Each structure stands twice: as structure tokens, then as C-alpha cells.
Chain A
Amino acid sequence: MTNTAIKVENVSKSYIKGAISTGTLSRDIEQKIISIFSPKKQLALNQDANLVWSLKDINFELKQGEALGIIGKNGAGKSTLLKILSRVTTPTKGAIKGNGRIASLLEVGTGFHPELSGRENIYLNGAILGMKRHEIKKNFDEIVDFSGVESYLDTPVKRYSSGMYVRLAFAVAAHLESEILIVDEVLAVGDADFQKKCLGKMGSISKGQGRTVLFVSHNMQSIQSLCSKALLLNKGTMHGFGNVQEMINNYMQNQENNISLIDRTDRKGDGKVKVINIHFIDKKTEKITNNLYAGMGLVFDIELASNQFKISSNLEISLGISDQYGNRITLISNKVSGQTLHPLTNGNWSQKIMINHLPLAMGKYTITVFVASGGQIHDWVIDALPFSIESDSYFGELVHTLPTGQGSFYLDFTYL
């Protein structure tokens, strides 16, 4: 018989829109006085319209030993849910019930003190994460072994490289003995080797040790390999709960119904050069197309708008291409090819990038755009444009395509 590890019932969380108070006592008193004389303003403050629900009616139940992947776009409520589950903040409505100790890992190295040595920090960090002293002692050698910082144990962590710091921090967290583990995207840190090690450790925690794991990630591949169930969130509501593959497909479909690039607000940068749109042009027909296939001659036509842009150093326009699991496959950048661009300082212009023989295999991809010059970011939109490669003629018509699971791009090879 498997027991319920965690049960989430009708959990909702609301915030009051705008500042909760003005921040200073005198201003607050001022506001109060104003509201006495003009009751209308006071009324507006109390209306539900000012409440923002960042989570609404979340319900699910996890059995012991299950691993749940929580997926959703930025702002879907993933972090809020994790914060409530890890008791950092309380839900506005609803309840969460569960069995066993919860440990949460929303950040690696929480509470590390730079002046303390690695050894002292292992104990301190372990205790902050909820471990008892004897538990840390028992696992101490393993933690040190996992982190690979043996020779620096008595050095203050402020002298550690960032890699060592992260490795030590994750090592402590990985040896938590709680029955339920909540993990935010902490795996996005460290080098690839260490990330692999962490993923392996997470796998053994949920599968090998029968502990319950709740895991948030943008990387669908790690969700797929780690989790036995998935929860899809969208704008604070549940969009689905259950089969991992199904939820990932759902999520991907959602991604494609994106608003057009010009209307995106989740962009970073000063906006002096902005990407308005990206078209795909078939080199052969010289027409805009959405029918992309491996092996085609493709031109990316990037429409840009400059606004009082001063050309001080070489402008960089980069397109990062990621697969449907969020893995970056390659980067197209004039910084890599060493070419100098000739941007307009004001008004709309376009930049074309040609690819002679598109090597991407069939599948779904997204483009992240990045525009910068002299260390200043002008525009940066993550997952700006999705596209899919529908068919394949990399080696000409009527030739077999790459089998699924055998990678996502072609090398230009010939058998001699």
C-alpha cells in the first residue's frame, strides 16, 4: 500500500495589486486622511479588482515515491506554488496536508556564510535546510566526496570559485534525509558534468530511495527523465495533471500559440534596437514561407527598429536555437563569425542571415533573439519565435530521415 505523501486542496494565493502600503508611515497617514475626505478612493482600495490571483484552486495528490514535474511559462505560478509548499509563505485559501518531513531547495547555498569554512558551512547549511546535527555528521564524508572540495574544507567559502561553491551547496542539499523534497531549477547551475551528476542524484532520490520529489524546470528533458507525473500550470490555474508526456505536449502546444513578437512584454534591454519580427524566406523561391525542411536554403529576415541608437561599437544580433526540451542547440551570431553589421540609428531596417543547407532534423524548435552592443543589451526575448521542421530532404528527396531519438541535427557527411 502506498501512502499519500502530499495532498493539495483548493490552494489559492492572492496578492494586492500595487504597493501594499506606501512604505513610509507619514505617507500612509497622509493616504488615510485623504481617503477619509474622499470615500471613493477608499472604496477602490477594497474592491476585489485589486486582488491578483497568482494561484487559483490547485488540487492534486502525490503518493509516496512519486516525482512530480511542475511545468508552465514564466508567471504561471510555479514559484508561488513551491513557496507555499515549502512554507515560506502561506496560501490565501485552501490547505496542504502531508506526511513526512519536507525539505525545499529553492536556491543552492541558502544561508552560506562567506567567512565560515566549507566544513562549518556544511553544518550550518544542513541545519538551515532542516537536518539534525547527527544526520549531517553521518553523511559528512559523502557530502564532501560528492562536492569534490576535500582539500578546501577549512578555507572560508568566500575564497571558493563559484563552481566549488555551487558544488558544495548542492552536495549538502542532495543529502537531505527528508521524505519530501522540493526542488526549484537549481540544476541550471554548474558545469555540464556536474549537472549530470545532480540529475543522477535526483533520480536515485526519487526512484531508488522511494522519496517524493516535486521539481520545477524549464528543461523538458530533465522533467521527462526524472518525473513520473506532471502538473501543468497556466496563469495560476491548473491546466492538467497526470501523464508527463501528455503534459509536456500540452505545454509545447501552448507555447506555439504565442503572441506575436512585437507585442511581447517579457523582454529585457533598453529598446534602442528592437526586434519586431522574424520571417523565414525560402532561398529557392525567395518568398516568405513557414514550410521549413531539413536541407533547404533558408534566410532569416529579421525586422528591427532603432530608436536613437548610437553606433559606438559593433552591434551584435544573435539567434539562439533551442529544441523543444529547452536545450540550446546552436547560436547564430555575427560575434561568432566576426562580421560587422551596418545598423540604422533611427527607424526600421532589416538584417538577413542566410543558411545554405539547414541541418536541423524534423522537430520543434524555438529562437531566442539577442541584440547588444558594447556590453549594453538592447533587446533580448527568450523563446521569441517557435518553428518546426516538417519534412526532410537533407540528402535529397526520398532518402531516409534521422530516426527519432538520434539527435536533432545533421552533419554534412559522405561515405567514401
Chain B
Amino acid sequence: MKEQPKYDWTIKSENPWFKLDLVNTWEYKDLFFLLIKRDFIAFYKQTILGPLWFFIQPILTMIVFSFVFGKIGNISTNNLPKPLFYLPGIICWNYFAECILKNSTVFRDNANLFSKVYFPRIILPMSIVFSSMVRFFIQLFLFIVILVIYSFKGFQIHLSFAVLLIPYLLILMAALGQGLGLIISSLTTKYRDLALLVNFGVQLLMFSTTVTYPLSAAPNNFKFLIELNPMTIILETFRYAFLGQGTFSITAILYTTITTIIIFLLGIILFNKVEKNFIDTI
């Protein structure tokens, strides 16, 4: 058997549960960057206002939230100016929701590509998470600008050390969104009706996180449920970092990290499993 010639590669029917071919994926890094570039160019080429949309959407949402939840609903904002309270929630939720939604349709949106040419499939969902990050950074910049404007108007900024955790929070959000999105996308190749649930579900899920209210305003017997949601902890830490308000706890972050890792790995495993023969089922 030793005498057999060596081959560069082998295609077999085996379907390992977990195999992330990192070397092979790295070979395709140029494709990864080009896909991000494509998403970005394609987005602003198709719109009249172009990149301005990145600003309009969170500002309009913030105004509506301030009015509906702040004025009509009279929900506390922990004595923070309403724009400063709502904006971080909107920005983070936008990013998270986009990761879920775009990842959840990755098979359907790219069926043609997947059926015609090989490349490490994971590159596509990964590029989605990163191209959405562009939008997140632009909106984060918008938030900082508004924060600075408020500080000139006399608002005391409480920047805390937790600001250093922002990149980490971003990674958590990306991994969580990707994991959930991939789980959904893997299930929806078989069950189309789940896809209908996703849009609706993500919308409802927003109310189980502290986007529109502070954790302190939640009734005590529901508080633990809200805290079970990893996004709540990410959001609270985010607010704490910039505004000094909200809750911060290392154990909560640890919990979020572990949950995120589990969901992310589950997503990747399912994706890898479905990806192999997905073309046969569409």
C-alpha cells in the first residue's frame, strides 16, 4: 500500500461532522475580500441616496422609538437623553438582525452559485458578517458624533474601561448572528416554512432584549428571562461602556461567550453538513 502514488486531493463521499478546512479556506481569501467589496458596491449603486441610508435608517428608528416608547409609553431611559439611550440598541440590533437574516437565506440566495462552482462554502456567510460590519462601523461613528454633540450641550459622558471590550462585543454579535443564521439556513433548505418565521421571529426577539427599555425597568420575575438572552448582555455592556449606565458583570459576559461559542459551532457544523449535498435537494 505504501507504494501507491500520492495525490494532492481526494474527493470522497464521507461527510465528517465537523471539518473546517482552514488551509483551503485561506487559499480563497481574495474571494472573501472581493465578496465584501461586491456587497458594498452593489448596495450603494442600487440606491438614490447611496451610503446616506446608513444614517437615515437608525436616526428615523431612533425618532420613532423616542416618540412611541419614550413619550407615549413613558418607559424609563435611566435618565439618559433619549437619542443616546436608543441609538446603541438600534445599531447593535441592526447588525445582529442583519447577520441572522442574511445568513438564514444564504443557501437560497446563492443556489445558482453553489450549483455551478466549488469554493469553500463558508466563505459566503463569513463575507456577509463582515460586509455588514461596514454598516455597523459607520453607524457607530454616527453614535459617537451624536455623543460628542450632547457633551457640548452639557451631557456628562461616562466613558468606562468597558469601551475596550467593544471589539470583543462586536465579535460576539457577529458569531451569535452567524451561528443562529446558519442554523436557520440549514433547516430552511429542507423546510421552507421556517423561512417565513425568521423575519417575524427576529422582530419579536428584539423585544426580549433591552433595545427599547433598560434592564432596570423590567419586572423582577421576568428579568432572568431577559438576561438569558445573550444579546441583552451585549447591549447592556455596550451602553455601560459609553454611557456609564446599564449593567456590567463578568459572569454575564462569560455566560454570553459560552452560549455564543456553542451556537456558532452548531451553526458551522449544520452548515457543513447541509452544504455537501444541498445541491441535490433543491
Cβ of B7 within 8 Å of any chain A Cβ, yes or no, is yes
Residues of A contacting B221 in the complex (Cβ-Cβ under 8 angstroms): none
**Chain A 75-102: CB-based contact to B (< 8 A → 1; otherwise 0):** 0000000011111111111111111101
Residues of B contacting A94 in the complex (Cβ-Cβ under 8 angstroms): 12-13
Find out whether the CB atom of B10 lies under 8 angstroms from the CB atom of A127. Answer: no
Find out whether the CB atom of B11 lies under 8 angstroms from the CB atom of A95. Answer: yes
With known contacts A89-B280, A116-B38, A128-B31, A110–B191 Cβ distance under 8 A:
no
Find out whether the CB atom of A127 lies under 8 angstroms from the CB atom of B30. Answer: yes
Residues of B contacting A111 in the complex (Cβ-Cβ under 8 angstroms): 113, 117
Q: Which of A90, A98, A120 contacts B8 (CB 8 A)?
A: A98
Cβ of A253 within 8 Å of any chain B Cβ, yes or no, is no
Q: Which of A100, A115, A129 contacts B41 (CB 8 A)?
A: A115
For residue A57, give the distance in angstroms from its CB to the closest CB of chain B: 14
Cβ of A106 within 8 Å of any chain B Cβ, yes or no, is yes
Rounded to whole angstroms, the CA-CA distance of A156 and B8 in the bound complex is: 39
Cβ of B116 within 8 Å of any chain A Cβ, yes or no, is yes
The residue on A at minimum CB distance from B10 is: A97
With known contacts A7-B7, A28-B191, A127-B34, A116–B117 Cβ distance under 8 A:
no
Rounded to whole angstroms, the CA-CA distance of A104 and B11 in the bound complex is: 15
Chain A: residues with Cβ within 8 Å of the partner, total of 49
Q: Which of B8, B12, B30 contacts A99 (CB 8 A)?
A: B8
Q: Which of B117, B191, B279 contacts A104 (CB 8 A)?
A: B117
Find out whether the CB atom of B193 lies under 8 angstroms from the CB atom of A88. Answer: no
Find out whether the CB atom of A25 lies under 8 angstroms from the CB atom of B113. Answer: no
Cβ of A268 within 8 Å of any chain B Cβ, yes or no, is no
Residues of A contacting B114 in the complex (Cβ-Cβ under 8 angstroms): 88
Cβ of B67 within 8 Å of any chain A Cβ, yes or no, is no
Find out whether the CB atom of B279 lies under 8 angstroms from the CB atom of A83. Answer: yes
Residues on A lying within 8 angstroms of B by beta carbon are: 3-4, 7, 15, 20-21, 23-26, 28, 83-100, 102, 104, 106-107, 110-111, 113, 115-116, 120, 123-124, 127-133, 156
A and B contact pairs by CB, cutoff 8 A, 5 listed: A24-B191, A88-B118, A90-B15, A96-B11, A104-B118
Q: A88-B279, A89-B276, A97-B9 provided; 17 other pairs, C-beta below 8 A?
A: A7-B7, A24-B193, A83-B279, A88-B116, A90-B15, A95-B10, A95-B13, A96-B10, A97-B7, A102-B118, A106-B117, A110-B113, A113-B42, A115-B41, A127-B31, A130-B28, A131-B30
